Amino acid sequence: MKNHSLISKIALATCLLFTTTLAQAQLDIDIDLGKAKWYEDPKIWIGVAIFLVVLAFIARGKKA
């Protein structure tokens, strides 16, 4: 009977360990250092627009 009690205590301790680990893993940690994301940079959007216009002219010029 004592062995059963020890096993249940170990199982309970293991469940509590995993539960607290999962609860801590869900914390929202924000480490934003004020840097802008790459997709927020207007230079990239202008470059993409120019690339698409050039690509459209190349595709339009290749009529078979």
pLDDT for 1-48, tens place per residue?
456 677 788 888 887 777 776 665 666 666 767 777 888 888 999 999
> Rounded to whole angstroms, how far apart are CA atoms 8 and 36?
52
Instruction: Inform me whether the pLDDT recorded for 64 exceeds 60.
Output: no
Contact between 38 and 44 (Cβ < 8 Å): yes
Contact between 60 and 54 (Cβ < 8 Å): no
pLDDT band at 54 (very low <50, low <70, confident <90, very high): very high
